[in-house]
Amino acid sequence: LQINLSAGDAAYAAVTVPRLLHAHPGCAERLLVLDACRQPRTRIYNPEQRAPFENWRQRLEVVRSLSRDLLGAGLVDRVEELTHDDRRFSIWATRYQRPWMRQSHDYGGCAVMPYWAGIDLPKTNYVIHYDADMWIHQAPGFDWAAAAIAALAMHSQVVMAAPRSSPPGFALDAPSLHEGRPATRVNEGWLNDWFSTRCFLIDRTRLAPHLPLIGRSWGAVLALRRLLDRGYPPAPEIILHRTLGARGLRCLHLADERAWMLHPIQKDATYLRLLPALTSALDRGQVPPAQRGWADIRVDEWTSWNPSPTD
């Protein structure tokens, strides 16, 4: 079990991360990858507008402290902190991308190296990954990752799997009401060619023959983008989709209604006030009716919601 944690998670990680750590009690190891890299400025991303340096540094100390506490309490087995001078960046760049693609973050300020680290550092074949801002409902006694491993045996083209991306209870035969890619229905769920990095289980043995994920021709295009400072580097999701999807590999989204996810886009004070209500509701498997079928948390619906037994 591997969770990515960064300064941006400081306000809520003490609530979300322990819940994620408790979701899979049978894991061989629990690993936190702590992203301590300040995002570089690009044409479309200015880190100072998101969080001035001193604010970012203070938030980083909050998640560092949380990581130490979780390690000391035995909730995690290992914390790997990534900094800009990390020599492993060149190894991961060569293994997963191209040797010269050693940037910590993508063009939009989102993590790159922490995702490759999360796949590369574990020793087990199967790795469960979560971003630290994710919420999951999982029925007592059910482990979606165990169900995913069993389903992988039935589908040789599946390299990654995930639980439902939104709460069930809607009419469309899909993981959500807003699927962006065509999906193929199978007994266990749906197959598509998009590999979200929010939450997944990955089969490293099936991934290995496709590494590095960026071939020479696309690498040449990216080298030009790097020179022009336009759209470089790409996000891991783009790399996985463009390479694995084109080769016929798929992600399996489980249909089982005993596990599903929610993801926050809005992370302001209103959202933070909802954390206790989210914890309680997801433990019960309840959501506002208008949240069903939507992967991103609809904060307005939650603030006006008075739960009933039918929700």
206-232 pLDDT per residue, tens: 999 999 999 999 999 999 999 998 999
Query: What integer is the mean pLDDT of 13-23?
Result: 97
CA distances from 166 to 51, 134, 183 (A): 30, 12, 15
- Is residue 155 scored above 90 in pLDDT? yes
251: left (phi over 0), alpha (psi -120 to 50) or beta: beta
Overall pTM surpassing 0.85 (yes/no): yes
pLDDT at 50: 86
> Can you tell me the mean pLDDT for 22-31?
96
Averaged pLDDT for residues 277-282: 96
pLDDT-based confidence at residue 180 (cuts at 50, 70, 90): confident
229-262 pLDDT, tens digit each: 899 999 999 999 999 999 999 999 999 999 999 9
Instruction: Locate 115 and state its tokens.
Output: 């995702």
Position 122 pLDDT exceeds 90: yes
Pairing of strands 31-35, 78-82: parallel
pLDDT in tens, 261-275: 999 999 999 999 999
Mean residue pLDDT of the chain comes to 96
Instruction: Flag whether pLDDT at 310 surpasses 90.
Output: no
